[in-house]
Chain A
Amino acid sequence: MDLLNSHLLSLILLTPVAGALVLLLIPRDQVGALRWTAFIASLVPLALSVVLWLNFQPDIAGYQFREDFLWFPLVGSDYRLGVDGVSLPMVLLTALLAPLGVLFSFGVQDKVKAYMILFLLLETGSFGVFMALDLLLFFLFYEIGLIPMYFLINIWGSANKQYASFKFMLYTMAGSLGLLLATQVIGLTLGSFSIENAVTAWPAWSGTIAGLSATTVRAIAFWAFVIAFAIKVPIWPFHTWLPDAHTEAPTAGSMMLAGVLLKLGAYGFLRLVLPLYPVEAAAGAPVLATLATIAIVAAAFASFGQSDFKRLVAYSSVNHMGFVALGVAVAAWTAQHGGAQEGILALNGAVLQMFNHGLSAAGMFLLVGVIYDRTHTRNLDDFGGLMPLMPVYGGLLLFTSMASLGLPGLNGFVSEFMVVRGAFPVFSVLTAISMIGLLMTGAYILYGIYKTIYGPLNTKWVGHTSDISAREVIAWAPLGILMLVLGLAPNWMVSVINAAVARLF
């Protein structure tokens, strides 16, 4: 029990790796054993995350369940872990989506062993980012998650996978180059990569690097951080890798990509950009808010214009993550210019939106995957009127779409409302414009379900398609339940987030 208490985060972090090592030892033709081992290896972190959630004390300031080991003393970097109210929901989200992804991936027939190993490594990479309290460790996990994702797209993706995976890798690596350099500068000037130390020391640092004043260095480093995370979120105009990567990735890969990996960027804004660069962030907030608004509106229109079902959902991610960026911008502005109440509200909304989008995007990609597995097409014009053929599927799609659309009573509404309510007094015009995006969200969601389950029946599918299977429903069900629970009673999660967010001001 001691080990469980003192190393809970490490256990959550490393169980998937241990599972991957076990998978290595299982012969590749033992497909059933491979699948179930992977599933169990991803269920354990979920169970431990629930333990983590229950033992977490929202009222205590700072990080909890901390761990600190010697790692790379030469440069002042250590294995430092900890969670607070912002990272805890993200850990839970990752822990939840991974087993669902594994369960859905029971349908993968090709190279099951490699697939499951990579999937588990991807889970560890995501956990690491949310737990790291050391900038170099953060960067390590941030980048290391790219490797499994690259291969999930590259090997198990659809037709255009080579192009998409290459673009994904290079785009993200190039984006994080500035982050890497700026991280080095912070580590060098402060003599340590500890995030907690940097939060107080870095904004106050006054020295010179390369003959530039501290203010200039911070301004440059700020933009380096922002661009890296903006690519990951993604914020317009850095989003173009996303539709390709999402569309080509296998279904569970898309679930993790949209559900968790996009959150890494947003989390980077919350954990690093806001505390490390309060002044610069306030100055950049209007720019960020403008880009976020463009993302919300443009992505909604782009989504409406798609004929590929998966691409439609992919663009909807850009649209929904725009609200997260908007919330961050509001928080950055109000932290320096007053109006903390709006800022706290918007930031609460942003974190909750991260969680909610994780649920709904994963749910949508799962359902797109279900229909693709049956029809081998994602072209919306090839579907139509499938409701009578797949009634259960139709119901689930309708439900998930409504959550994504922001129907009151389901989760998306709560968080988007919080962001918009917080943003309106601060960026009134932009918030008003973003409402167009909200309208278009309704349009493209309805368009999507109209083209698939409603409208005239495309008779070629009669007798050639089956309803959603029990395993797929089980993979969807936790998402659906949480969508409803968070829509009706979000307080259990908001209280955890709020306690942490309020301390940022």
Chain B
Amino acid sequence: MTFPFLSVITFAPLVAGLGILLLPPERKDAARTTALVTAAFTVLLSGYLYFAYDQAAGGFQFVEDVAWIPQLGIRYHMGVDGFSLPMLLLTGIVLLTGVMISWGIEDRAREYMAFFLILSVGVFGVFAALDLFLFFFLLEIAVFPKFLMIVVWGYPKTREYGGMKLTLYLFLASLVALVGVLALYAALPAGARSFGLLDMAAANFSPELQRWAFPLIFGGFAIMGAIFPLHSWAPDGHVAAPTAISMMLAGVEMKIGMYAALRIGVYLLPEGAKFWAPVIVAFALVNVIYAAYIALIQKDFKYIIGFSSVSHMGLVMLGFATLNPLGLTGAGLQMFSHGVMTALFFSIVGMVYDRAHTRMLPELGGMMQRMPWAGIAFLVGGFTSMGMPGFSGFVAEIPIYMGLWQGVALDPLNLPGFMTTPWFFPLAAVISALSIVITAAYILLAVRRVFFGQLPAQFADLPDVSALDKTALVLLSGLMIVVGLYPAIMAPLVESGIQPVLQALGGG
């Protein structure tokens, strides 16, 4: 038996979190340091796996497989491939930077750090789980700390509403998906029932089952990725959450939805995916354009970022809907890129708010003079967001658009006439490209209103961000630039990760 890397990454935060709770409450620095060391440890381990993964061999590696509830065909089965490794790394990085920028929290710092670590257990776990029962188990584990953290440490005006709304939506999402998964489980022959992902993938479900189960599974998970029209929990919840939780929710949790939509939805139900692909495109387009437009007219700095996340997740869904190597790889890259970017954005919003005590654009201005590091990092994130070449967003968007141009081999039974024409997907590429300009507009306007212009007199001696904050900012913006300038560091890995999905779809 090899070293259980994945279990260690997943459960190290749990052990550390419980350990922190045992500390006396006044030993805040000990709690913080423990959290920082644990988070750094997960980054190092997941970074090691990222580079140690054998792309030529492909498939799931670092596998751990132990019987858990054999009567129900449930196993403790973990493993990672090229699609989940970037997500694992992303989780570690957001955890680490989240701890860094939360250093200044004085209110129940011990509990804050402990819950934040425990929250990450579920997140790490779902990206490694290869058993669907284990997947849902870990997914729900994260609900309790998430809800608690929003309600206790969140934005006082909306935390109850935002926390409740977010939790209920995510519950709804996972329940809908669970119903779909249970239907698949029940469709397996009686002697061979299993929650194993690979077992189900080999089961060849009938096309009819695939067609009606797909909306449940993909749709359920897509709600976690904030698909229109069930997206409104995301901005409300993210704005209400404390900074590190916003980073984790928007940066990683939304990716869980998208990750599962592909890994479970498309992978297990390829015929369903082919059938519904044009519908996904239609909804995702609304995400991309409408949310970008809503971001443009926000007055609240944090809501701009909240809606921009919704817009960018639409691009991920567009990539998925292409069902071809370019689009799927692009979507995987976009998940990583957006995760880093939005974590950076929320951390900066938090830094500004902690100092200025307002997030309203008309009351802000000139912050570049007081916190230049935050301003420059925001610009890096902004350029990533608008798909500027040289930043990771561009590297992700180019394959997505090319995938759309290429179009998709559709199910011949497909329904509405215009959706099956050869110009439907390319048209989606053209329309969603308009979001680049809208994004550029809202980013530049936000930059101008928050970081440039006149510094209001009452902010004349705001303190600069701390050294730890700067470290987090450099780490996050550096990643966007590295991936943007040298895409070969991530693209081949993701490309190897989507091969099983392509094979299920009958191509690749």
A188 and B402 contacting across the interface, CB-CB below 8 Å:
yes
Q: A181-B401, A212-B423 are known contacts. Are A143 and B389 too (CB-CB below 8 A)? A: yes
With both chains docked as a complex, state the minimum distance between the C-beta of A443 and any C-beta of chain B, in angstroms: 39
Q: Which residue of B lies closest to A143 (CB)?
A: B389
CB-defined interface of B323-337 with A at 8 Å, one 1/0 digit per residue?
Answer: 001100100000000
A154 within 8 A of B: yes
Chain B residue contacts of A212, Cβ below 8 A:
423
CB distance from B406 to the nearest CB of A (A): 6
Stretch at the interface among A33-41, A172-180, A317-325, A414-422: A172-180
Contact of A210 with B488 in the complex, beta carbons under 8 Å:
no
Please state if B444 and A75 are interface contacts (CB–CB under 8 Å): no
Task: For the complex formed, measure the closest distance between the CB of A259 and the CB atoms of chain B, giving whole angstroms.
Answer: 23
Check: B436 CB closer than 8 A to any chain A CB: yes
Q: Assess whether B398 is in contact with A184, with CB atoms less than 8 Å apart.
A: yes
Separation of A170 and B423 alpha carbons in the complex (Å): 28
Binary interface encoding of chain B residues 413-430 relative to chain A, with 1 for a CB under 8 A from any of its CBs, else 0: 000000001110111011
* Chain A residue at minimal CB-CB distance from B388: A143
A166 at the interface (CB under 8 A from B): yes
* A268 smallest CB distance to B (angstroms): 15
Q: Does A140 contact B (CB under 8 A)?
A: yes
- Given A140-B394, A147-B383, A185-B405: A170 touches B440 (CB 8 Å cut-off): yes
Known A-B contacts A73-B488, A166-B448, A181-B430; A210 and B407 likewise in contact (beta carbons under 8 Å): yes
Give the residue name and chain of the B residue nearest to A193 (CB): B398
Query: How close is B442's CB to chain A, nearest CB, in angstroms?
Result: 11
Question: Which residues of A in the span 191-240 have a Cβ within 8 Å of any Cβ on B?
Answer: 208-212
Most buried by B among A139, A184, A185: A184
In the complex, chain A residues 139-190 whose Cβ is within 8 Å of any chain B Cβ: 139-141, 143-144, 146-147, 154-155, 162, 166, 169-170, 173-174, 177, 180-181, 184-185, 187-188
CA distance A212 to B406 in the complex (A): 13
Distance in angstroms between the alpha carbons of A67 and B199 in the assembled complex: 48
Residues of B within 8 A of A188 (CB): 326, 402, 405-406
Given contacts A71-B486, A173-B436, A177-B436, contact A136 B398 (CB under 8 A): yes
Evaluate contact between B405 and A209: CB separation under 8 angstroms: yes
Q: Report if B399 contacts A (CB, 8 A).
A: yes
Q: Is the CB of B398 within 8 A of A154?
A: no
Cβ contact within 8 Å between B433 and A181 = yes
B389 and A144 within 8 A (CB): yes
Chain A: minimal CB distance from B323 (Å): 15
Say yes or no: is A25 at the interface (Cβ < 8 Å to chain B): no
Q: Indicate whether A3 reaches chain B with its CB closer than 8 angstroms.
A: no
Residue of B nearest to A212 (CB): B423
Q: Report B473-489 CB contacts with A as 1/0, cut-off 8 Å.
A: 00000000000001110
When the two chains form the complex, which single residue of A70, A144, A170, A185 contacts B388, counting CB atoms closer than 8 Å?
A144
B207 within 8 A of A: no
- Does B388 contact A74, Cβ atoms closer than 8 Å? no
* CB within 8 Å of A: which B298-338 residues: 325-326, 329
Please report the C-alpha to C-alpha distance between residue A155 and residue B434 in the assembled complex, in whole angstroms.
27
Q: Are B491 and A72 in contact (CB under 8 A)?
A: yes
Among candidates B389, B434, B441, B492, residue contacting A140 with C-beta atoms closer than 8 Å = B389
Nearest Cβ in chain B — how far from A371, in angstroms? 28
Contact between A73 and B491 (Cβ–Cβ < 8 Å)?
yes
Q: Which residues of B contact A144 (CB under 8 A)?
A: 388-390
When C-beta atoms are compared, the residue in chain B nearest to A177 turns out to be B433
The CA-CA distance from A211 to B424 in the complex, in Å, is 10
Evaluate contact between A208 and B405: CB separation under 8 angstroms: no
Beyond A184-B405, A211-B421, whether A73 also contacts B492 by CB under 8 A is: yes
* Chain B 380-402 residues near chain A, CB threshold 8 A: 383, 386, 388-390, 394-395, 398-399, 401-402
* Chain B interface bracket (under 10, 10 to 19, 20 to 34, 35 or more): 35 or more
Q: Is the CB of B487 within 8 A of A74?
A: yes
Pairwise interchain contact B395-A72, C-beta atoms closer than 8 A: yes
Please, what's the 1-or-0 string for A110-148, where 1 marks a CB less than 8 Å from any CB in chain B? 000000000000000000000000001001110110110
B41 contacts A by Cβ under 8 Å: no
In the bound complex, residues from chain A placing their C-beta under 8 Å from that of B433 are 177, 180-181
Whether A211 lies near B423 (C-beta < 8 A) is: yes
CA distance A139 to B444 in the complex (A): 21
- B156 interface residue, CB < 8 Å from A? no
CB-defined contacts of A173 to chain B, threshold 8 Å = 386, 436-437, 440
Complex CA–CA separation, A273 to B57 (angstroms):
43
**Chain B residue with the shortest CB-CB distance to A142:** B389
- Check A166 against B487 for contact (C-beta < 8 Å): no
Q: Which B residue's beta carbon lies closest to that of A78?
A: B488
Q: Which residue of A lies closest to B389 (CB)?
A: A140
- Known pairs A144-B390, A173-B436; A181 contacts B429 (CB<8 A): yes
**From B427, which residue of chain A is reached at the shortest CB distance?**
A210
Whether A170 contacts B437 by the Cβ 8 Å rule is yes
Whether A210 contacts B422 by the Cβ 8 Å rule is yes
Give the nearest-CB partner of A172 in chain B: B440
B452 interface hit (Cβ, 8 Å): yes
Cβ contact of B422, chosen from A74, A166, A181, A208, cutoff 8 A: A208
Interface status of B495 (Cβ within 8 A of chain A): yes
Contact across chains for A71 and B444 when beta carbons are under 8 A apart: no
- The answer to whether B488 touches A147 (Cβ under 8 A) is no
**Cα of A174 to Cα of B429 in the assembled complex, Å:** 15
Q: Which residues on the A side are within 8 Å of B402 (C-beta)?
A: 75, 184, 187-188
With an 8 A cutoff between CB atoms, is B25 at the interface?
no
Question: Chain B residues with Cβ under 8 A from A166's Cβ?
Answer: 444, 448
Across the interface, do B440 and A75 meet the contact criterion of CB distance under 8 Å? no
Provide the residues of chain A in CB contact with B448, threshold 8 Å: 154, 162, 166
Q: CA of A188 to CA of B437 in the docked complex: distance in angstroms?
A: 23
Tell me the complex Cα distance, A184–B430, Å.
11
Q: Does B453 reach chain A (CB closer than 8 Å)?
A: yes
Q: Which residues of A contact B325 (CB under 8 A)?
A: 74
| B495 contacts across to A, CB distance below 8 A | 74
| B452 in contact with A154 (CB, 8 Å) | yes
B325 to chain A, nearest CB (A): 8
Min distance, Cβ A185 to any Cβ of chain B, angstroms: 6
**How far apart are the CA atoms of A139 and B423 in the complex, in Å?**
25
Question: Chain B residue with minimal CB distance to A180?
Answer: B433
Q: Mark B281-311, 1 if CB is under 8 A from A, else 0.
A: 0000000000000000000000000000000
- Whether A139 touches B440, Cβ cut-off 8 Å, given contacts A185-B405, A188-B406, A211-B423, is no
**Minimum Cβ distance to chain A for residue B363 (Å):** 18
Docked Cα-Cα span, A144 to B125, in Å, equals: 39
A198 to B447 alpha-carbon distance, docked (Å): 39
Query: Closest Cβ of chain A: how far from B380's Cβ, in Å?
Result: 10
18 contacts between A and B (CB under 8 A): A70-B488, A71-B488, A72-B398, A74-B487, A139-B389, A140-B390, A143-B390, A144-B390, A154-B448, A170-B437, A170-B440, A170-B441, A173-B440, A180-B401, A188-B326, A208-B422, A210-B426, A211-B421
The 8 tightest CB contacts between A and B, nearest first, are A140-B389, A211-B422, A210-B426, A210-B423, A74-B491, A72-B487, A188-B402, A143-B389
**Which residues in A have some Cβ–Cβ distance to B below 8 Å?**
70-75, 136, 139-141, 143-144, 146-147, 154-155, 162, 166, 169-170, 173-174, 177, 180-181, 184-185, 187-188, 208-212
